């Protein structure tokens, strides 16, 4: 495994050193993988798959990908499935319930909680097979070849020795079923996304036992090593269907996917661990509680203290778990030299950190092995940056700086206004935009005399300023030019709507369609030759396509 190289010629040598990593572990949290409603975020997942594909295919970097999201997808699957089958099951079970007799159950199955678990209103019954003998007894709960027709919860009651009572126990059982249902959908989605990048992905489900028993750990390392050497991306996740989301106490090996990623980074000899989350990195205080005064820390040493942020709405981890995971990954003795906590909502984070040679500034928060050369370099850079910022804050701005700042404010104001109006324009029906274009064409004809009169003044002023004859000719308008302009605007208005056209459609997986649809760009900045006939032409195309417009005239 190659070590990080020193590159003093760059603005941030410590960050540039990350680009020399040859094996990395990337973890995407639930807040990155899924949206608020639990649906997968195709935008973020597509960007992650694309950037991992670039690393593996173009830069020959080996990647271990730890992904959350199976539970969120599984909840949707189970909810949809239960609703789909509800009516059919009720009809079938009601018929069987009409013939049901409590005497048909053996005494060993009549526990004190059978009644509330199997109420007659839901027709949730436990029926014994007619052929009930000792040879047919099952090891699950001591019941004899029994079967559950349905249940209000997603858990198979035959698997439980005792009924779950606390909210935490019920949530663990529910999450286990959700994870089992969601893993299939999640891997189908990843397989489709990685296939677009000509990269093969594989799935590895682990429990804490796989990291405790030497034999299992050795087999796991061997499998991951062979996969990565073959250019395959192993996608690692906790096997929640088996572990039942155990991992809420300090005695467990990992309590969430942050610490699982740290274990993978250490066990698989990764150079760098990247934790993608829903914030830009570590702040000196909570950015949600103090949005104005919270500052992003480009470097965090393991001796620092900070306020732990709240956990994400869907995942199990928070900033505290990420700090603990980073500490585990880069503890002396590990080949993992650095951990970066960065934003997964930034669609170029992975590329900026590991691949973009022109991106050497601070992205996210860097944590290094204590007292390592990388940490010393990063500390030196941060101290230099702090000095430069101190000088900037104590230096009074010059008149030119004040003027430039005012110009920047004016430019920003115009850009924001153009963006807001562009959104209104894009939401207009195409028939309204066509009416506007035809009205402009009519105005050019109706106001022809006024336009030519004002244009004559411009031509005279240009002549007095000794503008070249060629430019004066371009500046001059004629009745035929105005007629041609009006005709061109009407031709644009007669064209079909260029927006919302489906250019291509591809089915990624069952029920998941990927479409390429034409949409407005947003705001166009056009630098054009200052000719009077250019502006209506540019404006007409902008109106037809639903884009905002910023114009800058040239000579």
What are the boundaries of each domain within the chain? 13-73+170-391, 401-554
The pairing of beta strand 502-509 with beta strand 126-127: unpaired
Mapped onto helix, strand or coil, the DSSP state of residue 451 is helix
- Whole-number pLDDT of residue 140: 40
Give mean pLDDT, residues 541-553. Answer: 87
Give mean pLDDT, residues 413-428. Answer: 86
Report the Cα–Cα distance between both ends of the chain, in Å, rounded: 57
Mapped onto helix, strand or coil, the DSSP state of residue 237 is strand
- Among the listed residues 76, 145, 91, the one whose alpha carbon sits nearest the alpha carbon of residue 123: 91
Give mean pLDDT, residues 536-546. Answer: 89
Residues 417, 435: Cα–Cα separation, whole Å: 23
Residue 24 reports pLDDT greater than 90: yes
CATH fold, domain 401-554, is Aldehyde Dehydrogenase; Chain A, domain 1 (3.40.605)
pLDDT tens profile 449-484: 999 999 899 888 888 888 888 888 888 888 998 999
DSSP 177-202: HHHHHHHHHHHHHHHHHHHHTT-EEE
Residues 379, 12: Cα–Cα separation, whole Å: 11
CB neighbour list of residue 555: distance below 8 Å, 6 or more residues apart: 471, 529, 530
Residue 158 reports pLDDT greater than 50: no
pLDDT tens profile 381-393: 888 877 777 766 5
Greater confidence, 99 or 189?
A: 189
Q: Are 281 and 342 in contact (CB under 8 A)?
A: yes
Residues 94, 99: Cα–Cα separation, whole Å: 9
Q: Which residues pair with 196 in a beta bridge?
A: none
| Burial class of residue 300, CB neighbours in 10 A (0-12, 13-18, 19+) | buried
**Other beta carbons within 10 Å of 353:** 23
- Whole-number pLDDT of residue 131: 41
What's the chain's average pLDDT?
A: 77
| Of 84-93, 189-198, 402-411, highest mean pLDDT | 189-198
pLDDT tens profile 199-254: 999 999 998 888 889 999 999 999 999 999 999 999 999 888 787 655 444 445 55
Residue 50 — very low, low, confident or very high, per pLDDT cuts 50/70/90? very high
CB neighbour list of residue 25: distance below 8 Å, 6 or more residues apart: 63, 64, 65, 66, 261, 264, 265, 268, 270, 272, 273, 274, 329, 336
Long-range contacts, stretch 407-411, CB < 8 angstroms, 24+ apart: none
Give mean pLDDT, residues 519-532. Answer: 83
Q: Tell me whether domains 13-73+170-391 and 401-554 share a fold.
A: no
Give mean pLDDT, residues 495-524. Answer: 88
Share above pLDDT 70 across residues of the chain, in percent, rounded to a whole number: 72
- Whole-number pLDDT of residue 368: 92
The pairing of beta strand 502-509 with beta strand 365-368: unpaired
Q: Are 306 and 283 in contact (CB under 8 A)?
A: yes
- Whole-number pLDDT of residue 555: 58
CATH class of 13-73+170-391: alpha beta
- Whole-number pLDDT of residue 291: 80
- Whole-number pLDDT of residue 208: 85
Q: Are 300 and 106 in contact (CB under 8 A)?
A: no
- Among the listed residues 11, 9, 19, the one whose alpha carbon sits nearest the alpha carbon of residue 360: 11
The pairing of beta strand 338-343 with beta strand 365-368: antiparallel
Our CA dihedral for 163, 167, 172, 174, rounded to 10 degrees, sits at: 80
Give mean pLDDT, residues 109-115. Answer: 41
Q: Are 211 and 253 in contact (CB under 8 A)?
A: yes
Q: Are 158 and 141 in contact (CB under 8 A)?
A: yes
**Other beta carbons within 10 Å of 161:** 7
Between CA 247 and CA 252, with CA 248 as vertex, the angle to 5 degrees is 45
pTM value surpassing 0.75: no
**Which range among 111-125, 189-203, 238-252, 318-332 shows the weakest confidence by mean pLDDT?**
111-125
- Whole-number pLDDT of residue 495: 92
Residue 2 — very low, low, confident or very high, per pLDDT cuts 50/70/90? very low
Give mean pLDDT, residues 20-45. Answer: 89
Annotate 114-144 with b (16+ C-beta within 10 A) or e (fewer).
eeebbeeebbbbbbbeeeeeeeeeeeeeebb
Q: Are 52 and 65 in contact (CB under 8 A)?
A: yes
- Among the listed residues 71, 84, 314, 65, the one whose alpha carbon sits nearest the alpha carbon of residue 180: 71
Helices 167-196/42-58 angle, 10° precision: 50
DSSP 205-220: EE-THHHHSHHHHHHH
Instruction: Tell me which DSSP letter residue 296 carries.
Output: B
Instruction: Tell me which DSSP letter residue 40 carries.
Output: B
Residue 53 — very low, low, confident or very high, per pLDDT cuts 50/70/90? very high
- Whole-number pLDDT of residue 173: 53
Place of tokens 């079970």: 93
- Whole-number pLDDT of residue 69: 81
Q: Which residues pair with 512 in a beta bridge?
A: 509
Residues 351, 48: Cα–Cα separation, whole Å: 9
Helices first, then strands: H and E counts in the chain: 19, 13
Residues 97, 482: Cα–Cα separation, whole Å: 85
Strand order in the sheet with 365-368: 200-206, 232-238, 62-67, 23-28, 272-277, 338-343, 365-368
Greater confidence, 256 or 144?
A: 256
């Amino acid at each position: 495994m190659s070590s990080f190289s020193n590159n003093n010629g760059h603005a941030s040598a410590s960050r540039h050193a990350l680009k020399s990593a040859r094996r990395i572990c990337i973890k995407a949290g639930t807040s990155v993988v899924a949206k608020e409603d639990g649906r997968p975020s195709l935008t973020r997942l597509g960007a992650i798959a694309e950037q991992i594909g670039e690393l593996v295919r173009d830069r020959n970097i080996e990647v271990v990908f730890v992904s959350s999201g199976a539970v969120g997808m599984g909840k949707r699957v189970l909810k949809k499935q239960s609703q789909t089958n509800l009516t059919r099951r009720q009809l079938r079970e009601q018929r069987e319930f009409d013939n049901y007799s409590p005497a048909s159950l053996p005494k060993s199955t009549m526990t004190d909680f059978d009644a509330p678990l199997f109420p007659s209103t839901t027709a949730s019954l436990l029926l014994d097979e007619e052929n009930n003998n000792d040879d047919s007894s099952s090891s699950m709960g001591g019941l004899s070849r029994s079967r559950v027709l349905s249940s209000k919860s997603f858990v198979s009651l035959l698997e439980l020795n005792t009924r779950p009572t606390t909210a935490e126990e019920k949530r663990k059982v529910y999450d286990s079923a959700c994870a089992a249902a969601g893993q299939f959908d999640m891997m189908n989605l990843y397989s489709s996304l990685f296939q677009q990048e000509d990269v093969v992905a594989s799935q590895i489900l682990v429990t804490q036992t796989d990291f405790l028993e030497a034999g299992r750990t050795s087999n796991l390392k061997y499998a991951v090593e062979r996969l990565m050497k073959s250019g395959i991306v192993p996608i690692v996740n906790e096997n929640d269907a088996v572990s039942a989301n155990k991992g809420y106490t300090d005695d467990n090996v990992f309590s969430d996917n942050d610490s699982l990623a740290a274990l993978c980074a250490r066990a698989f000899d990764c150079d760098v661990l990247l934790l993608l989350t829903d914030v830009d990195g570590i702040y000196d205080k909570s950015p949600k509680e103090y949005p104005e005064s919270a500052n992003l820390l480009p470097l965090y040493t393991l001796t620092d203290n900070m306020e732990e942020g709240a956990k994400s709405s869907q995942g199990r981890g928070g900033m505290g778990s990420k700090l603990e995971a980073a500490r585990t990954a880069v503890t002396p003795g590990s080949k993992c030299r650095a951990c970066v906590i960065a934003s997964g909502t930034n669609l170029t984070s992975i590329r900026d950190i590991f691949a973009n040679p022109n991106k050497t500034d601070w992205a996210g928060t860097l944590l290094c092995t204590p007292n390592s050369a990388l940490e010393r370099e990063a500390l030196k850079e941060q101290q230099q940056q702090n000095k430069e910022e101190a000088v900037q804050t104590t230096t009074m701005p010059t008149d030119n700086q004040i003027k430039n700042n005012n110009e920047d404010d004016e430019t920003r104001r115009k850009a924001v206004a153009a963006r807001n109006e562009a959104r209104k324009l894009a939401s207009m029906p195409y028939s309204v935009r066509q009416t506007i274009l035809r009205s402009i064409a009519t105005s050019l004809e109706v106001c022809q005399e006024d336009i030519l009169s004002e244009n004559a003044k411009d031509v005279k002023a240009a002549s007095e300023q000794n503008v070249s004859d060629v430019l004066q000719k371009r500046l001059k308008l004629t009745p035929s030019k105005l007629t041609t302009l009006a005709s061109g605007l009407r031709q644009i208005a007669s064209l079909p709507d260029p927006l919302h056209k489906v250019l291509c459609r591809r089915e990624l997986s069952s029920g998941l369609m990927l479409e390429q649809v034409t949409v407005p760009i947003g705001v166009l900045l056009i630098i054009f030759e200052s000719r009077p006939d250019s502006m209506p032409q540019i404006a007409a195309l902008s109106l037809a396509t639903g884009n905002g417009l910023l114009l800058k005239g040239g000579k």
